Amino acid sequence: MRLGDGARIVGQTVRDAMGALVSENDDTKRIPRSCSLWILWRLDAHAAHDYHGGVTHAPVYPHDPIEEVLPDVFMVRGSIRFNAFMRISRNMAILRHAGELTLVNPIRLNEDEEQNLRSLGQVKHIFRLGPFHGLDDAYYVDRFGAELWTAGESKTYPEPKADATLTPGADLPVPDTEVITFAGTRQPEIALLCHRNGGLLLTCDAIQHYGDYRHNTWLARLMMPFIGFPRTTIVGPIWLKFMTPEGGSLEAAFRSLLQHDFDMLLSAHGSFLGRGAHDAVKKAVDKAF
Ligand SMILES: [Fe+2]
């Protein structure tokens, strides 16, 4: 048996096992049995917390230092750990305006890097673009008094409650930035488009880019191509299955997104795409639909 065959079998085994867990939830009975990563997120949300003064926060997971990708735009390449064998990438964007910071897809940093974050400005806002990310939102709300903006209700992370909603036309704390919704999804998710340097698209799970598999464990690196996460730009396959209404299609939402101009992409997973993002996303959409 070839290595690829083995990985394919492992991937299917994980999908089936996790799919069985999904079916126990009344609200998710119609979800295809391949939502393994989504269920892992849920398990993590309940199992991987530590405690600070009676308030539950997730621990710090391995991450890189803060790096500046554009003037007043920074990113952190980090991770989330599901178990001893599975850790995958997770990214945060940091937008600075007038000395205030907005964290997009927030991830908690170690003490040294948190000091560096504080030196950039005051953490005032956190943006949750998608309903399946929110592990570290409570940390920033409790420790920094950050204002939480979300795309809407999240069944995975019902707490903390949002202070504001990311809707098209919203008066955002970051200028030259607009909200783009993915219309028709089963739970609300949005993308952010920063109109600078040709356009920077910030996404959560809907669109992801993998130039490499940094911060993935060896098992995750082995499995990723076989469960729909090859080294390229993709429409998140598990996200798509979970978010598409029964008998429906989200193609129109992605075609609408392509009406906008952008050249760079930073997703909550994978790596930063510094140019050619529009073409890359178009190819991903064409392949997904
Ligand atoms: Fe995700």
pLDDT at position 73: 98
Compute, in angstroms, the gap from residue 105 CA to the centroid of ligand 1.
9
Compute, in angstroms, the gap from residue 241 CA to the centroid of ligand 1.
13
Which CATH code, of 1.10.1200.10, 3.30.43.10, 3.60.15.10, 3.40.1190.20, is assigned to 67-288? 3.60.15.10
pLDDT at position 35: 45
Name 122's Cβ contacts closer than 8 Å, sequence gap at least 6. 99, 100, 101
Compute, in angstroms, the gap from residue 214 CA to the centroid of ligand 1.
15
Measured on CA atoms in the order 203, 205, 206, 208, is the torsion positive or negative? positive
Compute, in angstroms, the gap from residue 208 CA to the centroid of ligand 1.
9
Structural tokens at position 156: 């995975």
pLDDT at position 19: 34
Compute, in angstroms, the gap from residue 81 CA to the centroid of ligand 1.
12
Q: pLDDT tens-digit profile of 42-100?
A: 544 444 444 444 568 999 999 999 999 999 999 999 999 988 889 999 999 999 999 99
pTM value is 0.85
Q: What is the mean pLDDT of residues 228-250?
A: 97
- The confidence band for 22, taking pLDDT boundaries of 50, 70 and 90, is very low
Q: What is the mean pLDDT of residues 218-244?
A: 96
Per-domain boundaries in the chain: 67-288
Compute, in angstroms, the gap from residue 204 CA to the centroid of ligand 1.
6
Position 246 pLDDT exceeds 60: yes
Q: pLDDT tens-digit profile of 106-117?
A: 999 999 999 999
Q: What is the mean pLDDT of residues 177-186?
A: 97
pLDDT at position 5: 53
Compute, in angstroms, the gap from residue 1 CA to the centroid of ligand 1.
32
pLDDT at position 23: 29
Q: pLDDT tens-digit profile of 119-160?
A: 999 999 999 999 999 999 999 999 999 999 999 999 999 999
Compute, in angstroms, the gap from residue 132 CA to the centroid of ligand 1.
6
Q: Which position has the higher pLDDT, 195 or 26?
A: 195
Position 34 pLDDT exceeds 50: no
Compute, in angstroms, the gap from residue 41 CA to the centroid of ligand 1.
8
pLDDT at position 32: 40
Compute, in angstroms, the gap from residue 174 CA to the centroid of ligand 1.
23
Return residues with CB closer than 5 A to ligand 1 (ion): 205
Compute, in angstroms, the gap from residue 36 CA to the centroid of ligand 1.
12
Compute, in angstroms, the gap from residue 268 CA to the centroid of ligand 1.
6
Compute, in angstroms, the gap from residue 133 CA to the centroid of ligand 1.
6
- The confidence band for 187, taking pLDDT boundaries of 50, 70 and 90, is very high
Compute, in angstroms, the gap from residue 37 CA to the centroid of ligand 1.
8
The percentage of the chain sitting over the pLDDT mark of 90, rounded to a whole number, equals: 79
Compute, in angstroms, the gap from residue 181 CA to the centroid of ligand 1.
17
Compute, in angstroms, the gap from residue 119 CA to the centroid of ligand 1.
28
